[in-house]
Structure 1
Amino acid sequence: MRRWICLSCGHVYDEAEGDPASGIAPGTPFAALPPDWECPFCGAAKDQFVAEDEA
């Protein structure tokens, strides 16, 4: 499981935790998020996230 960081606001999407508030179950890989999923804090698109180990 990886963690992904929003380049706009620094929010971390943790694949192990998912995004339950947006209906994303724990264990959901970042690549499996819906194409229209956005950062829950700033609204940035998925392409504004980088893997934590690549940041």
Structure 2
Amino acid sequence: MRTWMCLICGWIYDESTGAPDDGIAPGTKWEDVPPNWVCPECGARKDDFEMVEI
């Protein structure tokens, strides 16, 4: 599982935990997150996220 960070606000998307409050189930890989999904903190697009090591 990988983690992705919003380059605008720093919010972290962790594939193992998903984003259940936003309809993304735990275990959802980044490439399977819908293309129109936006950061729950700042509204940034998926293009504004970068894979990071934690």
1:1-55 to structure 2, matched below 5 A, reads 1-53=1-53
Structure 1: gaps spanning 5 or more residues: none
Specify which structure has the higher proportion of helix.
1
Name the SS for the 2:47 alignment partner.
helix
TM-score (norm 1): 0.93
Structure 2: gaps spanning 5 or more residues: none
Size of the aligned set, in residue pairs, is 53
Query: Percent of aligned positions with the same letter in both sequences?
Result: 55
What is the distance in 1 between the residues matched to 2:23 and 2:46? 16
